[in-house]
Amino acid sequence: MENFQAIIDRANLGLIIYKNVSGEVTYANPYARECLLAQNDFNVLSLIAEAKRPNVKYLNKDLLFNESFSAELCLKKIDGQFLYAELGTMPASQEDDTYALIFKDITHQLKLRRDLLVKQDEIAKTYDDLLRQNEQLKELDKAKDRFIALISHELRTPLSAMIATSEVLKMDLVDSEEQRKEFNDTVYEQGQYLLEIVNDILDFAKIRAGKIDLYIENDPIKDFVDKLVTQFSKFAEDKKINLKVNIENETATCYFDEKRLRQIVSNVLSNAIKFSPRESTIYIEVQEDESSLFLMIKDEGDGIPADKTDAIFDEFVTLENINSHQKGTGLGMPISKTLSELMGGKLRIDLTYTDGACFVISLPKTKILDAEVYRPKQTDGEIDLDLIA
């Protein structure tokens, strides 16, 4: 029997003997005391924790005063912290009316299990992230391949035209001065078109790399609109399109980068002219509220279907459908939208206008961007490729 006591004292299992009903502990082996932090007399009822978590089984009176077994049970240690145990209870002595409780502390194992589950979850999430990113990269790679193929083609067409035409000029094979002028014009136009494409590619690359330098100043919008309309009037006249300007407040100013805004408006306006029927009107209007100025370009064309408006501004959709573009890179709109946002404004399509398409460019009336972008534009030095619309 002495031997038996020694085994229990050294056992890696907790043994507690306690009285029925009262729960008063009459014996607890060292393992039990150590796990429960019970140095002094204690009562098994004090091990009952308040049930807090719905998916956890807690020790209760029923289990204590009956024969029971639980694979995973929550107890409260003397210091109030939780202990999880594999636990069994049974009547110990009928004579003394006592019960015995045998338990193994499995808190550490459960903690490891929890940590493992969290880790597993994290690995699954990371794996999903990687798969998604991989998919996106593949798509992007494909789109870039298509883009390069198309752009090469797009670049070759005007180049071939320029070379063929200039060859004729070089060999002096023209019949008349008129024809010479015509050929000269072709070289010039094709050159301009080429530049347009190269500018788009450059801008797209710059935007992707976050390397667009802005020179934003507070300037009157009227001067800007007048200059641009003069520039486009010849182009519009060819289709007998009337450009009608209406500026609500002629002295209004706002913050914009002149070069970039011209790029945006030129893009919108040239599209409007391209898609407007002959002898129609394009309205260029400027309105304002407390914080912004709104530059609107309305045409009398077929308009843009509501379900296509997002796609127009999405460079990925543009790249995806690049084969269906009529001419050029199709990146003009995504570039214009990003440029507007970089200037603290927006470029959107007003769907409430139903007589054609209506593009709205909003521009801030106050400084809302980082201080460094508010600086005078560079006027001398480098050749401004972007200015040619």
Partner 1 sequence: MSTAENLAEKIDYEYLTSKLEELPTLPSIVSEINTVINDPMSTPKDIEDLMLNDQSLTTKVLKLINSAYYSIPGGIDDLGRAIGYLGYDAIYQLVLATSVFQSLKIDGDISFDINEFWKHSIGVAIAAEAIAKQVQYKNPQELFTAGLIHDIGKIAILKVEPELLMDTSMYARKNNLNMREAEEALNTYKHNIVGHIMAEKWKITGVFASVIKYHHTLNPAARVGISPEANLAIDIVMFANLFLHNLSFGDSGHEKKEKVPDELFKRLNIAGDDIPQIANTLKTGLQNAETFLKVIGS
Q: How far is the CB of 59 from partner 1 (least distance, A)?
A: 14
Handedness of CA 289, 293, 298, 303 (dihedral sign): negative
Count CA atoms closer than 13 A to 29's CA, side-chain side.
19
By beta-carbon proximity to partner 1, the closer residue of 119 and 156 is: 119
Locate the DSSP E strands across the chain: 14-19, 25-28, 68-76, 82-93, 98-105, 217-220, 242-247, 253-256, 281-288, 292-298, 346-349, 358-364
Q: How far is the CB of 31 from partner 1 (least distance, A)?
A: 15
Q: How far is the CB of 54 from partner 1 (least distance, A)?
A: 10
Count CA atoms closer than 13 A to 52's CA, side-chain side.
7
By beta-carbon proximity to partner 1, the closer residue of 56 and 368 is: 56
Q: How far is the CB of 2 from partner 1 (least distance, A)?
A: 28
Phi, psi (rounded to 5 degrees) for 148: -60, -45
By beta-carbon proximity to partner 1, the closer residue of 107 and 184 is: 107
By beta-carbon proximity to partner 1, the closer residue of 59 and 361 is: 59
* The length of the chain, given as a count of residues: 389
H-helix or E-strand containing 186?
A: helix 177-208
Site residues for partner 1, window 118-137 (CB under 8 A)? Answer: 118-119, 121-122, 125
Q: What is the SS3 assignment for 24?
A: strand
Closest CA to 105 of 124, 91, 86, 77: 86
Beta carbons of 157 and 194 less than 8 angstroms apart = no
Interaction of residue 181 with partner 1, rule CB under 8 A: no
Beta carbons of 147 and 322 less than 8 angstroms apart = yes
Site residues for partner 1, window 252-291 (CB under 8 A)? Answer: none
Q: How far is the CB of 9 from partner 1 (least distance, A)?
A: 19
By beta-carbon proximity to partner 1, the closer residue of 72 and 167 is: 72
How far is residue 226's CA from residue 233's CA, in Å, rounded to a whole number? Answer: 10
By beta-carbon proximity to partner 1, the closer residue of 120 and 179 is: 120
Which one among 28, 48, 74, 361 touches partner 1, defined by CB under 8 A? 74
Q: How far is the CB of 55 from partner 1 (least distance, A)?
A: 7
By beta-carbon proximity to partner 1, the closer residue of 98 and 107 is: 107
How far is residue 301's CA from residue 308's CA, in Å, rounded to a whole number? Answer: 15
* # of chain residues touching partner 1 (CB under 8 A): 18
Task: Sort strands 281-288 and 242-247 into parallel, antiparallel or unpaired.
Answer: parallel
Q: How far is the CB of 376 from partner 1 (least distance, A)?
A: 37
Q: How far is the CB of 5 from partner 1 (least distance, A)?
A: 25
Site residues for partner 1, window 37-66 (CB under 8 A)? Answer: 53, 55-56
Find tokens 């460079």 and name the residue.
Answer: 315
Phi, psi (rounded to 5 degrees) for 216: -100, 130
Which one among 65, 82, 215, 235 touches partner 1, defined by CB under 8 A? 82
Burial of 108: CB neighbours in 10 Å, binned 0-12, 13-18, 19+: exposed
Which one among 66, 81, 134, 192 touches partner 1, defined by CB under 8 A? 81
Q: How far is the CB of 87 from partner 1 (least distance, A)?
A: 15
Site string for partner 1, 101-120 (x = CB under 8 A): ------x--xx-xxx--xx-
| Interface contacts to partner 1, rule CB under 8 A | 53, 55-56, 74, 81-82, 84, 107, 110-111, 113-115, 118-119, 121-122, 125
